[in-house]
Amino acid sequence: MDWMTTLFLMGAGAVGGVINAVAGGATLITFPAMLQVGLPPVIANASNAVVIMPGHLIAVLADPGRWPPFDRRLGWLTAASLLGGASGALLLLWLPEALFTGPVPVLIAFATILFAFAPTIQAHQAKRGPRPVDTMTGPAMIGVASIYGGFFGAGLGVILTALLSISVSQDIRTVNTNPH
């Protein structure tokens, strides 16, 4: 890798890091940057997921006072997210690369639009207030979103915030503790 490519990727990483710290959505910068320098799409996607994971982990560990109680519901949500994420990652590995690269522009457009409208979606959910839901609806929705996250991931924070605001009978501010 030449020094210009290295500088370009470092710059994209820095911009993505700032964006993730402020509002989320780094993948919308870093993934296209990796494609631009010639990384194969599946490798770029997997590399991106590995690179942004420490930031998410640090964000969770930084404020244990805001962690929800580990109850049965959180156990189901955790299990659904792990199973969905693993399923999406396996799909990414098993499917031919063409089945990943074909929908990528649509997935990026979807994530970008969702990201752009996230404040509107969150404001609507906040006005609506908490709602009781079926015990398994939340884990099922989180499982499906996690399949998407394991397969691609861009915009997942917005998707999860929207789904949790629908499926968890809590205030959106509680749901949105770590939005992205």
Would you kindly state where each structural domain of the chain is located, as residue ranges? 3-175
Per-residue confidence (pLDDT) for residue 134, from 0 to 100: 56
Q: What is the mean pLDDT of residues 38-49?
A: 92
Cα–Cα distance between 29 and 93 in angstroms, integer?
Answer: 23
Per-residue confidence (pLDDT) for residue 9, from 0 to 100: 95
Q: For residue range 31-41, list pLDDT tens digits in order.
A: 999 999 999 99
Per-residue confidence (pLDDT) for residue 178, from 0 to 100: 45
Residue 172's pLDDT band, with cuts at 50, 70 and 90, is very low
Cα–Cα distance between 34 and 62 in angstroms, integer?
Answer: 29
What three-state secondary structure class fits 178? coil
What is the 3-class SS of 85-138, one letter each residue? HHHHHHHHHHCCHHHHHCCHHHHHHHHHHHHHHHHHHHHHHHHHCCCCCCCCHH
* In contact, 5 and 39? CB cutoff 8 Å: no
Q: How many Cβ atoms sit within 10 Å of the Cβ of residue 52?
A: 20
Among candidate residues 171, 130, 156, the one with its CA nearest the CA of residue 53: 156
Q: For residue range 124-158, list pLDDT tens digits in order.
A: 767 776 655 556 777 888 999 999 999 988 778 77
Q: Is the pLDDT of residue 166 over 70?
A: no
Per-residue confidence (pLDDT) for residue 179, from 0 to 100: 43
Per-residue confidence (pLDDT) for residue 66, from 0 to 100: 80
Per-residue confidence (pLDDT) for residue 149, from 0 to 100: 92
Q: Which residues contact 13 (CB under 8 A, 6 or more apart)?
A: 30, 33, 51
Residue 180's pLDDT band, with cuts at 50, 70 and 90, is very low
Cα–Cα distance between 84 and 89 in angstroms, integer?
Answer: 9
Q: For residue range 61-118, list pLDDT tens digits in order.
A: 888 888 888 888 889 989 999 999 999 999 999 999 989 888 888 887 887 787 777 7
Per-residue confidence (pLDDT) for residue 11, from 0 to 100: 95
